[in-house]
Amino acid sequence: MIRRRDFLQLFGSGIGIVAAAGALSTSRAQRATKSRVSRKILIAHRGASAYAPEHTLESYRLALKQGADFVEQDLQITRDNQLICLHDLTLERTTNIKELFPTRFQEETVPRSPSEQGSGVAGVPVRRWYASDFTLREIKQLDAGSWFNPKFRGARVPTFQEAIDVVRGKAGLYPETKAPDVYGRLGFDMERLLLDALRKNHLGTRTSERHTPVIIQSFSPESLGKLFSTLNRQLPLVLLINEEMRRHWLTAAGLAEAKTFSSGIGPAKALLDKDIVRQAHDVGLSVTPYTFRSSNTGRFKTVSEEMSYYLYDLGVDALFTDNPDLFPRAEL
Protein backbone atom coordinates (compact mmCIF):
# COMPACT_ATOMS: atom_id res chain seq x y z
CA MET A 1 0.00 0.00 0.00
CA ILE A 2 1.33 3.45 -0.92
CA ARG A 3 0.29 5.99 1.71
CA ARG A 4 0.48 9.76 1.15
CA ARG A 5 3.79 9.88 3.00
CA ASP A 6 5.19 7.15 0.76
CA PHE A 7 3.80 8.93 -2.29
CA LEU A 8 5.69 12.09 -1.36
CA GLN A 9 8.84 10.03 -0.90
CA LEU A 10 8.25 8.42 -4.29
CA PHE A 11 7.86 11.83 -5.88
CA GLY A 12 10.89 13.22 -4.06
CA SER A 13 9.17 16.36 -2.81
CA GLY A 14 11.98 16.87 -0.36
CA ILE A 15 9.66 18.49 2.17
CA GLY A 16 11.77 19.39 5.14
CA ILE A 17 15.05 18.60 3.38
CA VAL A 18 15.54 22.08 1.99
CA ALA A 19 14.92 23.77 5.31
CA ALA A 20 17.21 21.37 7.12
CA ALA A 21 19.95 21.87 4.58
CA GLY A 22 20.45 25.45 5.71
CA ALA A 23 21.77 24.23 9.06
CA LEU A 24 24.27 21.84 7.45
CA SER A 25 27.75 22.51 6.22
CA THR A 26 28.00 23.57 2.58
CA SER A 27 29.07 20.15 1.38
CA ARG A 28 26.37 18.39 3.37
CA ALA A 29 23.76 20.88 2.13
CA GLN A 30 24.85 20.24 -1.44
CA ARG A 31 24.53 16.50 -0.91
CA ALA A 32 21.07 16.97 0.58
CA THR A 33 19.99 19.13 -2.33
CA LYS A 34 21.34 16.65 -4.87
CA SER A 35 19.52 13.86 -3.07
CA ARG A 36 16.31 15.86 -3.26
CA VAL A 37 16.49 16.84 -6.92
CA SER A 38 17.65 13.44 -8.12
CA ARG A 39 14.25 12.01 -7.20
CA LYS A 40 12.22 14.27 -9.48
CA ILE A 41 9.85 12.15 -11.54
CA LEU A 42 9.47 12.15 -15.32
CA ILE A 43 6.07 11.25 -16.76
CA ALA A 44 5.95 10.69 -20.50
CA HIS A 45 2.86 12.56 -21.67
CA ARG A 46 0.96 10.21 -23.99
CA GLY A 47 4.32 8.50 -24.42
CA ALA A 48 7.18 10.26 -26.17
CA SER A 49 4.55 12.19 -28.08
CA ALA A 50 6.88 14.83 -29.51
CA TYR A 51 8.53 12.13 -31.61
CA ALA A 52 5.90 9.43 -32.20
CA PRO A 53 2.10 9.39 -32.50
CA GLU A 54 0.52 9.83 -29.09
CA HIS A 55 -0.91 6.81 -27.31
CA THR A 56 0.59 4.20 -29.59
CA LEU A 57 2.88 1.39 -28.54
CA GLU A 58 5.57 3.06 -30.65
CA SER A 59 5.29 6.18 -28.49
CA TYR A 60 5.31 4.18 -25.26
CA ARG A 61 8.37 2.16 -26.26
CA LEU A 62 10.26 5.30 -27.22
CA ALA A 63 9.37 6.89 -23.88
CA LEU A 64 10.91 3.92 -22.11
CA LYS A 65 14.08 4.23 -24.19
CA GLN A 66 14.23 7.92 -23.27
CA GLY A 67 14.16 7.15 -19.55
CA ALA A 68 10.57 7.78 -18.50
CA ASP A 69 9.77 6.96 -14.87
CA PHE A 70 6.07 6.72 -15.70
CA VAL A 71 4.17 6.43 -18.99
CA GLU A 72 0.75 8.08 -19.18
CA GLN A 73 -2.38 6.42 -20.58
CA ASP A 74 -5.58 8.39 -21.21
CA LEU A 75 -8.42 5.89 -21.07
CA GLN A 76 -11.53 5.64 -23.23
CA ILE A 77 -14.08 2.81 -23.52
CA THR A 78 -15.20 0.93 -26.62
CA ARG A 79 -18.76 -0.14 -27.35
CA ASP A 80 -17.90 -3.63 -26.14
CA ASN A 81 -16.59 -2.39 -22.79
CA GLN A 82 -12.83 -2.47 -23.48
CA LEU A 83 -10.37 0.12 -22.18
CA ILE A 84 -8.27 1.73 -24.89
CA CYS A 85 -5.54 4.38 -24.75
CA LEU A 86 -6.80 7.50 -26.50
CA HIS A 87 -6.84 11.14 -25.47
CA ASP A 88 -10.03 12.28 -27.19
CA LEU A 89 -13.54 10.95 -26.78
CA THR A 90 -13.57 10.76 -30.57
CA LEU A 91 -11.36 9.08 -33.14
CA GLU A 92 -11.15 11.51 -36.05
CA ARG A 93 -8.16 13.58 -34.92
CA THR A 94 -5.67 10.74 -34.59
CA THR A 95 -6.97 7.98 -36.86
CA ASN A 96 -8.39 7.42 -40.35
CA ILE A 97 -11.85 6.63 -38.98
CA LYS A 98 -13.50 8.88 -41.59
CA GLU A 99 -12.08 6.75 -44.40
CA LEU A 100 -12.94 3.34 -42.97
CA PHE A 101 -16.31 4.19 -41.42
CA PRO A 102 -17.50 7.30 -43.28
CA THR A 103 -21.16 7.03 -42.22
CA ARG A 104 -20.72 6.03 -38.57
CA PHE A 105 -20.63 9.55 -37.14
CA GLN A 106 -22.80 11.54 -34.78
CA GLU A 107 -23.70 15.00 -36.00
CA GLU A 108 -23.69 17.73 -33.39
CA THR A 109 -24.04 21.49 -33.39
CA VAL A 110 -21.35 23.54 -31.73
CA PRO A 111 -21.03 27.33 -31.21
CA ARG A 112 -19.11 29.23 -33.88
CA SER A 113 -17.04 30.81 -31.10
CA PRO A 114 -16.89 30.60 -27.27
CA SER A 115 -18.65 33.98 -27.01
CA GLU A 116 -21.67 32.60 -28.86
CA GLN A 117 -22.17 29.69 -26.49
CA GLY A 118 -25.64 29.94 -24.98
CA SER A 119 -26.45 33.08 -26.97
CA GLY A 120 -29.06 31.45 -29.16
CA VAL A 121 -26.98 32.04 -32.29
CA ALA A 122 -27.16 29.11 -34.70
CA GLY A 123 -24.10 26.92 -34.35
CA VAL A 124 -22.02 24.91 -36.80
CA PRO A 125 -22.81 21.24 -37.50
CA VAL A 126 -19.88 18.91 -36.91
CA ARG A 127 -19.44 15.17 -37.39
CA ARG A 128 -17.83 13.15 -34.62
CA TRP A 129 -16.83 9.51 -34.46
CA TYR A 130 -17.03 8.53 -30.77
CA ALA A 131 -14.86 5.66 -29.55
CA SER A 132 -17.81 4.32 -27.55
CA ASP A 133 -19.73 3.75 -30.80
CA PHE A 134 -17.16 1.25 -32.09
CA THR A 135 -16.07 -2.20 -30.99
CA LEU A 136 -12.45 -2.93 -30.20
CA ARG A 137 -12.24 -5.06 -33.35
CA GLU A 138 -13.34 -2.10 -35.45
CA ILE A 139 -10.96 0.31 -33.73
CA LYS A 140 -8.07 -2.10 -34.25
CA GLN A 141 -8.52 -1.68 -38.01
CA LEU A 142 -7.66 2.02 -37.81
CA ASP A 143 -4.35 3.62 -38.72
CA ALA A 144 -3.32 5.67 -35.67
CA GLY A 145 0.08 6.76 -36.97
CA SER A 146 -0.12 8.36 -40.42
CA TRP A 147 -1.66 11.60 -39.12
CA PHE A 148 1.59 12.20 -37.22
CA ASN A 149 4.08 11.03 -39.83
CA PRO A 150 3.79 8.61 -42.78
CA LYS A 151 6.59 6.48 -41.34
CA PHE A 152 4.21 5.47 -38.53
CA ARG A 153 1.57 4.19 -40.93
CA GLY A 154 -0.11 1.12 -39.48
CA ALA A 155 0.32 2.03 -35.81
CA ARG A 156 -2.76 0.97 -33.87
CA VAL A 157 -4.80 2.31 -30.98
CA PRO A 158 -3.59 0.19 -28.05
CA THR A 159 -5.69 -1.38 -25.36
CA PHE A 160 -4.84 -0.63 -21.76
CA GLN A 161 -3.73 -4.25 -21.45
CA GLU A 162 -1.27 -3.78 -24.30
CA ALA A 163 0.10 -0.68 -22.59
CA ILE A 164 0.54 -2.65 -19.38
CA ASP A 165 2.37 -5.41 -21.23
CA VAL A 166 4.82 -2.91 -22.81
CA VAL A 167 5.48 -0.81 -19.70
CA ARG A 168 5.36 -3.42 -16.93
CA GLY A 169 8.69 -3.86 -15.16
CA LYS A 170 10.32 -0.99 -17.04
CA ALA A 171 8.45 2.03 -15.67
CA GLY A 172 5.29 3.00 -13.84
CA LEU A 173 1.78 3.33 -15.27
CA TYR A 174 -0.08 6.65 -15.01
CA PRO A 175 -3.66 6.08 -16.29
CA GLU A 176 -6.29 8.81 -16.40
CA THR A 177 -10.00 8.24 -16.07
CA LYS A 178 -11.03 10.40 -19.02
CA ALA A 179 -14.53 11.92 -19.01
CA PRO A 180 -15.88 9.29 -16.59
CA ASP A 181 -19.10 11.26 -16.20
CA VAL A 182 -19.76 11.01 -19.94
CA TYR A 183 -19.20 7.27 -19.90
CA GLY A 184 -21.30 6.94 -16.77
CA ARG A 185 -24.27 8.48 -18.57
CA LEU A 186 -23.76 5.90 -21.31
CA GLY A 187 -23.92 3.05 -18.81
CA PHE A 188 -20.18 2.35 -18.52
CA ASP A 189 -18.20 2.15 -15.28
CA MET A 190 -14.69 3.37 -16.07
CA GLU A 191 -13.42 3.08 -12.50
CA ARG A 192 -14.48 -0.55 -12.23
CA LEU A 193 -12.92 -1.40 -15.58
CA LEU A 194 -9.66 0.23 -14.54
CA LEU A 195 -9.51 -1.49 -11.15
CA ASP A 196 -10.42 -4.84 -12.71
CA ALA A 197 -7.55 -4.45 -15.18
CA LEU A 198 -5.10 -3.63 -12.41
CA ARG A 199 -6.26 -6.57 -10.29
CA LYS A 200 -6.08 -8.94 -13.26
CA ASN A 201 -2.45 -7.92 -13.73
CA HIS A 202 -1.65 -8.01 -10.00
CA LEU A 203 -0.81 -4.31 -10.06
CA GLY A 204 -1.35 -1.87 -7.23
CA THR A 205 0.01 -4.31 -4.67
CA ARG A 206 2.94 -3.89 -2.29
CA THR A 207 5.00 -6.30 -4.40
CA SER A 208 4.16 -4.79 -7.79
CA GLU A 209 4.82 -1.20 -6.74
CA ARG A 210 8.54 -1.99 -6.58
CA HIS A 211 8.79 -2.71 -10.30
CA THR A 212 5.58 -1.24 -11.80
CA PRO A 213 4.11 1.51 -9.60
CA VAL A 214 0.68 2.85 -10.56
CA ILE A 215 -0.69 6.36 -10.07
CA ILE A 216 -4.24 7.21 -11.17
CA GLN A 217 -5.21 10.72 -12.26
CA SER A 218 -8.42 12.48 -13.22
CA PHE A 219 -9.99 15.91 -13.68
CA SER A 220 -13.05 14.45 -11.96
CA PRO A 221 -13.11 14.72 -8.15
CA GLU A 222 -16.10 12.37 -8.22
CA SER A 223 -14.12 9.71 -10.08
CA LEU A 224 -11.21 10.00 -7.67
CA GLY A 225 -13.59 9.89 -4.72
CA LYS A 226 -15.08 6.68 -6.05
CA LEU A 227 -11.62 5.18 -6.51
CA PHE A 228 -10.52 6.38 -3.09
CA SER A 229 -13.42 4.69 -1.32
CA THR A 230 -12.81 1.46 -3.22
CA LEU A 231 -9.03 1.39 -2.93
CA ASN A 232 -8.84 2.37 0.72
CA ARG A 233 -5.58 4.29 0.07
CA GLN A 234 -3.91 1.44 -1.80
CA LEU A 235 -2.85 3.66 -4.73
CA PRO A 236 -1.90 7.31 -5.07
CA LEU A 237 -4.54 9.45 -6.75
CA VAL A 238 -3.86 12.80 -8.43
CA LEU A 239 -6.46 15.52 -9.04
CA LEU A 240 -5.80 17.28 -12.34
CA ILE A 241 -6.66 20.99 -12.30
CA ASN A 242 -7.39 23.22 -15.28
CA GLU A 243 -8.16 26.93 -15.53
CA GLU A 244 -11.86 26.45 -14.80
CA MET A 245 -11.07 24.54 -11.60
CA ARG A 246 -8.40 26.82 -10.18
CA ARG A 247 -10.66 29.15 -8.16
CA HIS A 248 -11.86 26.32 -6.01
CA TRP A 249 -9.01 23.83 -5.84
CA LEU A 250 -5.93 26.10 -5.76
CA THR A 251 -6.93 27.71 -2.48
CA ALA A 252 -6.16 26.71 1.09
CA ALA A 253 -9.65 25.27 1.48
CA GLY A 254 -9.52 23.53 -1.91
CA LEU A 255 -6.15 21.93 -1.23
CA ALA A 256 -7.36 20.72 2.15
CA GLU A 257 -10.40 19.20 0.47
CA ALA A 258 -8.26 17.57 -2.21
CA LYS A 259 -6.19 15.94 0.52
CA THR A 260 -9.23 14.05 1.75
CA PHE A 261 -9.39 11.89 -1.39
CA SER A 262 -6.11 12.35 -3.29
CA SER A 263 -2.36 12.16 -2.83
CA GLY A 264 -1.43 15.02 -5.10
CA ILE A 265 -2.53 17.68 -7.56
CA GLY A 266 -1.72 18.02 -11.25
CA PRO A 267 -2.34 21.64 -12.28
CA ALA A 268 -1.81 23.22 -15.67
CA LYS A 269 1.69 24.69 -15.43
CA ALA A 270 0.52 28.28 -15.97
CA LEU A 271 -1.53 28.09 -12.76
CA LEU A 272 1.46 27.46 -10.49
CA ASP A 273 3.71 29.68 -8.45
CA LYS A 274 6.02 28.95 -5.55
CA ASP A 275 3.36 29.81 -2.97
CA ILE A 276 0.85 27.29 -4.34
CA VAL A 277 3.53 24.60 -4.45
CA ARG A 278 4.41 25.35 -0.83
CA GLN A 279 0.77 25.28 0.29
CA ALA A 280 0.21 21.93 -1.41
CA HIS A 281 3.31 20.46 0.19
CA ASP A 282 2.28 21.82 3.58
CA VAL A 283 -0.92 19.77 3.50
CA GLY A 284 0.88 16.67 2.21
CA LEU A 285 0.06 16.84 -1.51
CA SER A 286 2.54 16.31 -4.32
CA VAL A 287 2.54 18.72 -7.28
CA THR A 288 2.78 17.47 -10.88
CA PRO A 289 2.15 20.14 -13.54
CA TYR A 290 1.32 19.59 -17.22
CA THR A 291 2.34 19.82 -20.08
CA PHE A 292 5.96 20.58 -21.05
CA ARG A 293 6.73 20.39 -24.76
CA SER A 294 9.49 21.70 -27.00
CA SER A 295 6.90 23.24 -29.33
CA ASN A 296 5.59 25.60 -26.63
CA THR A 297 8.06 26.92 -24.05
CA GLY A 298 6.74 30.45 -23.57
CA ARG A 299 9.34 32.77 -22.09
CA PHE A 300 11.93 29.99 -21.80
CA LYS A 301 14.52 29.33 -24.49
CA THR A 302 14.18 25.56 -24.31
CA VAL A 303 11.82 23.04 -22.78
CA SER A 304 14.70 21.75 -20.61
CA GLU A 305 15.13 25.23 -19.17
CA GLU A 306 11.39 25.48 -18.55
CA MET A 307 11.23 22.08 -16.85
CA SER A 308 14.27 22.93 -14.74
CA TYR A 309 12.61 26.11 -13.49
CA TYR A 310 9.49 24.27 -12.36
CA LEU A 311 11.38 21.35 -10.85
CA TYR A 312 14.18 23.13 -9.04
CA ASP A 313 13.01 26.72 -8.57
CA LEU A 314 9.32 26.22 -7.90
CA GLY A 315 9.97 22.81 -6.35
CA VAL A 316 7.37 20.65 -8.08
CA ASP A 317 7.75 16.93 -7.59
CA ALA A 318 7.20 15.63 -11.10
CA LEU A 319 5.92 16.78 -14.47
CA PHE A 320 4.35 15.64 -17.71
CA THR A 321 6.39 16.14 -20.86
CA ASP A 322 6.17 15.26 -24.55
CA ASN A 323 9.99 15.27 -24.59
CA PRO A 324 11.26 12.66 -22.11
CA ASP A 325 14.77 12.86 -23.58
CA LEU A 326 15.06 16.54 -22.58
CA PHE A 327 14.09 16.05 -18.91
CA PRO A 328 16.74 17.87 -16.81
CA ARG A 329 17.87 15.26 -14.31
CA ALA A 330 20.27 16.42 -11.61
CA GLU A 331 23.67 14.78 -11.57
CA LEU A 332 24.57 12.85 -8.44
Annotated active-site residue in 55, 87, 202, 248: 87
Task: Assess contact for 74 and 177: CB atoms under 8 A.
Answer: no
Strand pairing report for 264-267 and 83-85: unpaired
CB atoms inside a 10 Å sphere around CB 50? 23
Query: What's the one-letter identity of residue 259?
Result: K
Task: Assess contact for 286 and 13: CB atoms under 8 A.
Answer: yes
45 is catalytic: yes
Task: Assess contact for 124 and 109: CB atoms under 8 A.
Answer: yes
Distance separating alpha carbons of residues 323 and 187, to the nearest angstrom: 37
Annotated active-site residue in 45, 55, 248, 281: 45
Distance separating alpha carbons of residues 19 and 14, to the nearest angstrom: 9
Distance separating alpha carbons of residues 84 and 82, to the nearest angstrom: 6
87 is catalytic: yes
Active site residues: 45, 87
